């Protein structure tokens, strides 16, 4: 029984790491598809989303099996956190798929003649996601805590880009549908940073047994 538990627990961790790397890849590719106007890559990201959907379901199954074995308090926290992180990664995959969908549509249209700082926002969202996952792997509560305030930078960039796109739409009405696609992609980046923040909060909970959600704002 004990051995089964340890085996399932290490499988849970392994699967979560696989999911983390899949989610990161999806976001990277979606952003690449968007910025390089790559239709085929966009389609591929959209199609791969079900891998993360499956990951979430499988991790929940494993977690339920583990929870039924009455683990120690520290194991219990790890299982709970694994479930929450996997859920966030699944959502990250959804957002990557949404970006890919907009990238697909935008790749078929002339480029919008506006220079918004999407690459910086994408870079920041990715840094947050990678940082949160590294903090989980290294059980680094301080690194996780340091990440959380960066969400505000992403929110500020999101607001700025939305303002610029709105102005541009008002000056060039033919650009409206394409600008809306860019806005939706921007919003997905903002959501990815939110999920990274959630993951960081779960890491703090795992390391310190302190629930810090909803305390920052």
Residues binding a copy of itself (CB under 8 A): 50, 53-54, 56-57, 60-61, 64, 67-68, 70, 73, 76-77, 80, 162, 166, 169-170, 173-174, 176-177, 180, 183, 211, 213-214
Specify the residue, 3 or 173, whose C-beta has the smaller distance to a copy of itself.
173
Nearest CB to a copy of itself, comparing residues 13 and 69: 69
Q: Check if the beta carbon of residue 100 is closer than 8 Å to that of residue 42.
A: yes
**Spatial CB neighbours of 117, under 8 Å, sequence gap ≥ 6:** 157, 160, 161
- For 27, the 3-state DSSP assignment is helix
Q: What is the DSSP letter of 211?
A: -
CA-based diameter of the chain, in Å?
68
- Least separation in angstroms between residue 157's CB and a copy of itself is 17
| Smaller CB separation from a copy of itself, 80 or 143 | 80
Residues 85 and 153: beta-carbon distance below 8 Å: no
Min dist. Cβ of residue 36 to a copy of itself (A): 26
Q: Of the two residues 130 and 187, which places its CB atom closer to a copy of itself in the complex? A: 187
d(CA 56, CA 53): 5
Q: Is-contact 19 136, C-beta < 8 A?
A: no
User: Residue 65 Cβ, how far from a copy of itself at the closest point, in Å?
Assistant: 10
C-beta of 140: minimal distance to a copy of itself in Å? 22
Cβ(26)–Cβ(10) under 8 Å?
no
Kindly tell me which of 142 and 180 has the beta carbon lying closer to a copy of itself.
180
The least CB distance from residue 2 to a copy of itself, in Å, is 15
| b/e map 187-198, b = 16+ CB within 10 Å | bbbbbbbbbbbb
Q: In the complex with a copy of itself, which residue's Cβ is closer, 70 or 142?
A: 70
| Cβ contacts of 162 within 8 Å, gap of 6 or more | 183, 186
Instruction: Find the shortest distance in angstroms from Cβ 180 to a copy of itself.
Output: 6
């Amino acid at each position: 029984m004990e051995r089964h538990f340890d085996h399932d627990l290490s499988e849970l961790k392994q699967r979560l790491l696989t999911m983390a790397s899949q989610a990161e890849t999806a976001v990277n590719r979606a952003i690449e598809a968007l910025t390089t106007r790559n239709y085929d890559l966009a389609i591929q990201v959209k199609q791969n989303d079900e891998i993360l959907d499956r990951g979430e379901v499988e991790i929940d199954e494993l977690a339920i099996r583990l929870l039924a074995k009455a683990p120690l308090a520290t194991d219990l926290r790890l299982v709970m956190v694994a479930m929450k992180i996997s859920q966030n990664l699944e959502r990250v995959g959804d957002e990557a798929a949404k970006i890919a969908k907009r990238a697909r549509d935008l790749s078929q249209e002339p480029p919008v003649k506006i220079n918004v700082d999407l690459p910086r926002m994408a870079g920041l969202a990715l840094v947050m996601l990678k940082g949160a996952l590294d903090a989980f792997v290294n059980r680094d509560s301080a690194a996780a805590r340091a990440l959380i305030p960066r969400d505000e930078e992403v929110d500020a960039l999101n607001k700025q880009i939305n303002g610029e796109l709105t102005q541009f739409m008002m000056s060039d009405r033919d650009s409206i549908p394409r600008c809306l696609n860019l806005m939706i992609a921007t919003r997905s980046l903002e959501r990815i940073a939110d999920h990274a923040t959630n993951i960081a909060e779960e890491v703090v909970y795992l390391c310190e047994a302190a629930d810090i959600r909803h305390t920052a704002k």
